[in-house]
Chains A and B, each alone.
Chain A
Amino acid sequence: MSTPPPAAPLVRARNLTVDFVGGARPVRAVAGVDLSLAAGEVVALLGESGSGKSVTLRALMRLLPEKRARIGGSITVDGRDVAALGRRELARFRGGTVAMIFQEPGLAFDPVYRVGDQIAEAVVRHERVSRKAGRARALELFERVRIPSAETRLDNYPHEMSGGMRQRAMIALALACRPKVLLADEPTTALDATVQIQILLLLRELQREFGLAVIFVTHDIGVATEVADRIAVMYAGRIVERGDCRDVIRAAAHPYTRGLLASRADHVFTRGTRLATIPGAPPDLGALPPGCAFAPRCAQAVPACEAGVPEERPASATHVARCILLRPPAQADAGATAAA
């Protein structure tokens, strides 16, 4: 990340907001996210449940229910304004330019269609080829994601596959129409530990081979460091810290990121040691505080934290954080702001 990304990033979200309306009161799930992604780059979106990471991902593909979700800000993917896409363009865009891998492969396949047919269906739709050609592509992909006896597995129904195999099939489906951007929504969360690693390695391998840009949503710091070039930590709908993967982990600047790192189980194998936790609970997204959303749970909070949403301030040469305890941007060196 020493060289800045090319002038036009593949994915760029500016001041992205998502409000869910229709409930008792509107809920702001995403509250001003800026995100950019260059071709071939992997960004991990890290955060706990309800921090807005999955919603951000869905907003990039316009997958949120249009009646209930109000999307603000701007999203450009591959030079096109996502909000302005017509119905047909949107259908071509989904799966063709941007593809998604879902958290629960067991639920993301239609239970009454054969897995191979579901992949072939996408190929037929996007490339206007015959069903036979679609099946051939599906077989090719099954072999590429290393599903054993691929030929017979194509005819399986989703419930006839194991969790790991279903996720491999899901990856095959996502890659079916050669997308440029892959959105992975906690793709390993539903799998057990040994399978998780296999899937991560496979994803990384395929990402390099196809030069994919990947946004990888996870709540697992270990997974994030395994796959990502850059990390963006989300809290209550905002990115509170972002930058080069190693620097964010090694020199975490935001108290929330530090809390997350401290609460990992890796260090507490000694009997009797208590696992460090972040006190309190995530904030109510329907009634966010005017200032830093983390302030009520933060041990270092000062009265000024509640004054307004903190600006991004440089935390190291390659990463920034939204915390007023850091030096203001004017005093920082110019190189840091170019990061992320």
Chain B
Amino acid sequence: MLAFTLRRLIYVTPVAIGVTVVCFLLVHITPGDPLTAILPADATLELQEQMKAAYGFDKPLPVQYGLWFWKVLHGDLGHSIATGRPVATEVLRAVKNTLILATVATLIGFTFGTLFGFVAGYFRDSWLDKLASFVSVLGVSVPHYWLGMVLVIIFSAQLGWLPPTGAGPDGSGDWRPDAAHLRYIILPAVTMSVIPMGVIARTVRALVGDILSQDFVEALRAKGMSEFGVFRHVVTNAAPTALAVMGLQLGYLLGGSILIETVFSWPGSGFLLNAAIFQRDLPLLQGTILILAMFFVMLNLAVDVLQTALDPRIKRG
């Protein structure tokens, strides 16, 4: 198992390097010189050349990449143009908040998604199935920023039960696991959980249907297993795929939460990305995307390893 994990880690390396290349080139394929953003409009040609040399933009691209990559390896992602703070610090703080939100949302989505999926799969074509399927289709198709605003209107504006925006009562950008902060995560997490819930419910429903139609289920009944005993076998068979889907959904939520984080002013990576785009803060944009992409790569790796641990048919050799 350890050897397998190490080998998968080696396989992932080229993908990770590819990600850094794309992130690096991002600066160079965006229209406009990266320097025009920081230089005054009336800067002399001499000053421009000086700045180019200072930032290393006068060197050939591969050399620039090498220098940048070396810095990245040492945890130096440059400085934000807008705030002047190190990108690494900014991004990691935002990523931490996003990770918390995405994890809570995925857990909520996974819990209800598997519940709906199992109910729908077990009672196929009954009204329970139709209800569960309706809810899951709704989850996938409702625009979540719209749902977020509706929830804010109901639970914050009308009922006044939950705060509409932010991550905590002090207005600071850090979420902590205590009662006061917990109230702030409920609305964004529930809004976000609707997507993985729908996807997982659909997947689990199809999985359960597929597993129940297999011969071994009949064989289990033939040896006198109770319905609960059969259910245990179905869960074990469905687990690898359900977990894989959950892992991928977590990955999507990590990167794809711009809309929800903006609606709820959640100080996460999506919020940061949004700000970086509008302020043309290229180092920040580059750093955020790089770290999010790396998260996604690592998450896929974790899902692969976990799936192998759960399903004996996937060869470890």
Q: Which residues of A contact B (CB under 8 A)?
A: 61, 63, 91-96, 99-100, 102, 104, 107-113, 121-122, 125-126, 157, 159, 173-174, 176-177
Min distance, Cβ B78 to any Cβ of chain A, angstroms: 48
Contact A94 B313, beta carbon cutoff 8 Å: no
Contact A126 B313, beta carbon cutoff 8 Å: no
Contacts A104-B215, A107-B215, A108-B219 given; does A113 touch B224 at CB 8 Å: no
CB within 8 Å of A: which B170-229 residues: 214-216, 218-226, 229
Q: Which residues of B contact A (CB under 8 A)?
A: 214-216, 218-226, 229, 233, 236-237, 240, 310-313
Min distance, Cβ B192 to any Cβ of chain A, angstroms: 31
Q: Which of A107, A126, A176 has the most CB of B within 10 A?
A: A107
Measured between beta carbons, the chain A residues less than 8 angstroms from B222 are 61, 63, 94-95, 99-100, 102
Contact A110 B224, beta carbon cutoff 8 Å: no
Q: How far is the CA of A174 from the CA of B224 in the complex (A)?
A: 11
Residue of chain B at shortest CB distance from A114:
B312
Shortest Cβ-Cβ A-B pairs, 8 listed: A95-B224, A107-B215, A108-B219, A95-B223, A94-B224, A122-B223, A100-B222, A157-B312
Contacts A102-B215, A110-B216, A110-B237 given; does A126 touch B224 at CB 8 Å: yes
Q: How far is the CA of A122 from the CA of B224 in the complex (A)?
A: 7
Contact B219 A113, beta carbon cutoff 8 Å: no
Q: How far is the CA of A122 from the CA of B222 in the complex (A)?
A: 10
Min distance, Cβ B129 to any Cβ of chain A, angstroms: 13
Q: How far is the CA of A109 from the CA of B237 in the complex (A)?
A: 12
Contact B223 A94, beta carbon cutoff 8 Å: yes
Contact B215 A108, beta carbon cutoff 8 Å: yes
Q: How far is the CA of A113 from the CA of B310 in the complex (A)?
A: 10
Contact A112 B237, beta carbon cutoff 8 Å: yes
Q: How far is the CA of A91 from the CA of B226 in the complex (A)?
A: 7
Contact A177 B224, beta carbon cutoff 8 Å: yes
Q: How far is the CA of A254 from the CA of B312 in the complex (A)?
A: 51
Q: A63-B221, A94-B222, A108-B216 are in contact. List 17 more A-B contacts (CB 8 A).
A: A61-B222, A95-B222, A107-B214, A108-B218, A109-B216, A110-B233, A111-B216, A111-B237, A112-B240, A112-B310, A112-B312, A112-B313, A122-B224, A122-B225, A125-B225, A159-B312, A176-B223
B313's contact among A102, A109, A157, by CB below 8 Å, is which? A157
Residue of chain B at shortest CB distance from A174:
B223
Measured between beta carbons, the chain A residues less than 8 angstroms from B215 are 102, 104, 107-108
Contact A91 B233, beta carbon cutoff 8 Å: no
